[in-house]
Amino acid sequence: MTQDAFAFLSMRQSYPSKALQAPTPDRAALEPILRAALRVPDHGNLQPWRLVVGYRDALSIWADLGEARARELGDDPLRIEKGRGQFDRSHCAVVVIAAPKPAEKVPDIEQTLSAGALCAGLVNAATAAGWGAQWLTGWVSHDRPFITRAFDCAPQEWVAGIIHIGSKGAPAPDRPRPDIAQVVRWA
């Protein structure tokens, strides 16, 4: 057992995106994080996902698109805030687009799980590199007109997660963790 890796995984936690600050990893610092995350399980080597990296200029555009789409759906202030909020507050986000491929031997569910594993791997890689990171979704991730406009998603593609990465501010409180006795059945 690699003690350092096990200790990291035993204590790993997401850092609240609302508390992330600048600076963020620039391209040179982000590329090794992306390479590490892309070592995700991928049955059939299909690469059933793609990434869209956004810094402040792109995030501002996504915030505007989120607000515009929220207004198309009605003037619900909570939806408008959620449409803008995560992009307005962020300085760096990596959007994981699930891009399933037709593959007889690799079921869609395995491709979906690969996209989810990529999201988790990206949070872990960013955290291991010393950054704060959080995996978010929200209504914008599931709204077809928004994801088509913002991320150029094809009809078969969808957003698996939006991973916000930045510098940590104050220490984040940990959340309650599952009780192993409640979630594990030994067979």
33-69 as b/e: b if 16+ CB within 10 A: bbebbeebebeeebebbbebebeeebbeebbebbbeb
Q: Which residues, other chains included, contact 122 with Cβ-Cβ below 8 Å and sequence gap of 6+?
A: 33, 34, 37, 94, 96, 133, 135, 161, 163
- Domain spans in the chain, listed from the N-terminal domain onward: 15-170
Peptide bond connecting 23 to the previous residue in cis, omega within 30 degrees of 0? yes
pLDDT tens, residue by residue, 56-86? 999 999 999 999 999 999 978 988 898 899 9
| Model pTM above 0.85 | yes
pLDDT tens profile 83-110: 899 999 999 999 999 999 988 888 899 9
Q: What is the CATH number of domain 15-170?
A: 3.40.109.10
